[in-house]
Structure 1
Amino acid sequence: MIFKKGELFNGPGGLSLAAKNAQVIHPKTGEEFRIEHLWSNDYDATACETFRLNICENPDDPSVHWGPVEDLPIGDKSILGDIDCFAFGFPCNDYSIVGESRGLEGKFGPLYSYGVKVLKDYQPKFFVAENVGGLQSANEGKAFIQILTELEDCGYKLTPHLYKFQEYGVPQARHRIIIVGIRNDLTEQGIEFKVPAPTTLASTDYKTASEAILNPPIPEDAPNHDMPKHTAKVKEMLSYIPPGSNAWYPGIPEHLQLKVKGARMSSIYKRLDPDRPAYTVTGSGGGGTHMYHWDELRALTNRERARLQTFPDDFVFAGSKEAVRKQIGMAVPPLGAQVVFEAILKSFAGIEYDYVEPAPKLQLENLRGKKKVTIKEVVANII
């Protein structure tokens, strides 16, 4: 069974690479269950170029539509063909705890509604939506409830869960909400998605940042592996920061300390701890936010960041260094998302797999059954 996939906000292709690599073969019938790209959209030109190069393997592939999602002819199946499944990592800018967290009131917050439109117009068999953990608390919890309600009203049984990707083999402490929806008529036929169990239970067994970057060594001529340049002062400051610490480490001499008033971000000149998963890879920020090597006096290369995001070395990112950094930081780790897609395919194939109960303690149907439910109560029990 082949599922043709549409996607909004495709970025460089983290979700699509995961879907592409997720293949399941039924042990008895030999039937193959897999996902194929049909069309996608993103407003970032370099991300679209990266997607075409790696997912479509054709730099001129017309199935990747560059431009604002508002201009996409959703529902016109002569342009955007019919699909069996849908993915959208809707923009997280307004839901992230880094920033103003404007939620639905921000510029990007309402863009999830275009995913809702796709679900209404195409009614795919299943969908996967991804966003930051901050989605649960945006607008005092109202945003998450509204998004879940609208998705459910499209005719889907939802399984939202906060995935801690370090528990799924990703060498990075990255926590993201993934919502899986299975069309109601299919769940009535017995197709049920369950949250796949973590592949790594003990924190001592998590893949570390140093293991990801050093094993195997990155070839010197690998794409997107240009070494960063720093001033002598930055290098000297880094020499006083031990692995796992940042620019606020008390052992830094006074003449090298940063003069910052107000909030001090923990990621500023933070060096990786080689014996732990990396802290969250980000796609934006000025000097001091580029992630720093635990041993060498420098920031990571984009290739090293890509490894922390589980992109293979032959995955080529298009654009300038900063454009590439943005793409990598905004992407979904393919290895983590692949576990989710494989669980979906196994659900359709009727293959059992290890699972855990989803993180939300209160489902929408339970909330509707209560006469009085405060937003505070909702937020406290969702995740």
Structure 2
Amino acid sequence: MEFRMGELFSGPGGLALGAKLACFKDVKGEKWGFKHTWANDFDRDTVETYKLNLLHNPDASTVFCEDVSDFPIGDKSILPEIDALAFGFPCNDYSNVGKQKGLAGIYGPLYSYGVKVMKYYQPKVFIAENVGGLSSANEGYALIKILEEFQASGYHITPNLYKFEEYGVPQARHRIIIVGIRNDLYKQGIHYHVPAPTTPDPKDMKTSQQAIEIPPIPADAPNNELPKTTEKVAKRLSYIPEGENAWYIGIPEELRLNVRGAKLSSIYKRLDHTKPAYTVTGSGGGGTHMYHWKENRALTNRERARLQTFPDDFKFIGSKESVRKQIGMAVPPEGAKVVMEAVLKTFAGIKYRSVKPTEKLQLKNLEKGNTTALKGLGR
């Protein structure tokens, strides 16, 4: 069975690639998978990256580069019927890294376009993704409002905080993913369960060194240009041990940053080669580009893409900074695959190992007004 899939805020294709990787055949030989139907994103380079790698067609007309407010949701002559909706609604106003304006920000209300698709198309299932910081935005009330609207659109929802390093992704990336099953199907017994972590023990987690070095990155891999490093930055890095940042006590005074606070930040922070990487980000100024555990330099975009589990032949379109943004904002395909595969198995009636969803994120608990417990839940 193929699920026709529509996407909003598609990014370079992390969710779409995860959906593609999740395809399988059941014991009867029937194929279960997702089929691209339409997608949109606001960024031109991102759209070109998606078309090249997911559709292998730079001229594909089913991926739209336009503001979601102009997207013709409901016009089925342009955007035909779908069975599944996937959307990683913009996290800028929910991330703990930013000012966390939540629903009051420019990007905060954009989840509502996912709600609009649900109402017009009533897909069988939706998969929505956002940062862990969503749980504490607007003192927790942003999450309540979003979950209530998802539920009111006719869906039984299962929100959960996924720690991707527990699912084989070589990166401590914590994301809230909400899976919704249409109410009539839920009543028929189609119940989604959170897939159990595959690498819950820290000693089994894939490390940043394993991700970047095994196997070696091919010499002709795209987006692998070495970044320019000034002599001063290289010298500063030479004093920073792996796992430490720009506030390490052993850095000489003349090489210290003249910045107050942020001592727990990732500024000039080296990776620890024995652990999964810290979170790959898509923006930020000097000192935020992720730094090699041994070499005195920032990572290449291809190295970042490996931490995000994109294959080496996945070519990102655009300038170095554009590529960095695309990689940092994407959903790790291998993480997305876990969720997408669980969705398919749910509909196929195939049992899989599962765990209880994050208790603090369940609407029945949030409705009691206990939002303070959400603070610090994710990152």
Deviation, 1:99, is 1.1
Coordinate RMSD, CA, aligned: 1.5
Q: Superposition pairs for residues 41-56 of structure 1, below 5 Å? A: 41-56=40-55
Matches within 5 A, 1:257-268: 257-264=256-263, 266-268=265-267
1:374 to 366, 369, 373: 369
1:321 is matched with 320
Q: Which residue of 1 aligns with 2:68?
A: 69
- Name the aligned partner's letter for residue 123 of structure 1: Q
Give the whole-Å Cα distance in 1 for the aligned partners of 2:359 and 2:156: 14
Structure 1 residues 355, 85: closer, same or farther in 2, change over 3 A? same
1:25-54 CA distances to partner (integer Å, 9 max, x unpaired)? 221x22111001110001011000000001
Deviation of 1:379 (Å): 3.5
Q: For 1:1-383, what aligned pairs fall within 5 Å after superposition?
A: 1-27=1-27, 29-264=28-263, 266-361=265-360, 363-365=362-364, 373-376=368-371, 379=374
Going from structure 1 to structure 2, the CA distance change for 1:365 and 1:260 (only over 3 Å counts) comes to closer
Superposed CA offset, 1:164-187 (max 9, x none): 000000000000000000111111
Q: Equivalent residue of 2:19, what SS?
A: helix
- SS of equivalent to 2:100: coil
How many angstroms does 1:266 deviate by? 1.5
Report the Cα distance in structure 2 between the residues aligned to 1:223 and 1:329, rounded to whole angstroms: 17
Moved over 6 A (4+): 380-383
Contact 1:282 / 1:329 at 8 angstroms: preserved in 2? yes
Q: Distance in 1 between matches of 2:376 and 2:123?
A: 30
The whole-number CA distance in structure 1 between the counterparts of 2:306 and 2:218 is 13
Deviation per CA, 1:128-179, whole angstroms, max 9, x where unpaired?
0000001011111110000000000111110000000000000000000000
Contact 1:362 1:378 in 2 (8 A): no
- Which whole-Å deviations, capped at 9, do the CAs of 1:73-107 have from their partners, x for residues lacking one? 10000000110100000000000001110000000
Check whether the contact 1:89–1:131 (CA below 8 A) recurs between aligned residues: yes
Contact kept in structure 1, 2:159 and 2:362, CA below 8 Å: no
Following the alignment from structure 2 to structure 1, what is the Cα–Cα distance between the partners of residues 284 and 309?
A: 21
Q: Which amino acid aligns with 2:12?
A: P
Residues 377 and 253 from structure 1, CA distance in 2 versus in 1: closer, same or farther, beyond 3 angstroms? closer
* Paired residues of 1:360 and 1:381 also in contact (CA < 8 A): no
3-state secondary structure, aligned to 1:152: helix
AA partner of residue 171 (structure 1): P
CA, structure 1 residues 205+381, in 2 after alignment: closer, same or farther (shift >3 Å)?
closer
> Secondary structure of 2:347's partner?
helix
Q: 1:362 to 1:9 in 2, by over 3 A?
A: closer
Matching residue's letter, 1:261: R
What's the CA shift for 1:365? 4.4
How high is the TM-score relative to the length of structure 1? Answer: 0.96
Q: Secondary structure of 1:98's partner?
A: coil
Structure 1: unaligned runs, 5 residues or longer: none
- TM-score, with structure 2 as normaliser: 0.97
Code of the residue aligned with 1:52 in structure 2: it is: K
Q: Give me the whole-angstrom Cα distance separating, in 2, the residues matched to 1:171 and 1:208.
A: 5
Report the CA distance between 1:381 and its aligned residue. 12
Alignment partners' CA distance in 1, 2:263 and 2:150 = 38
Matched letter for residue 13 of structure 1:
G
Aligned residues: 378
* Distance in 2 of aligned mates of 1:380 and 1:87: 26
CA distance in structure 2 between the partners assigned to 1:136 and 1:57 by the alignment: 37
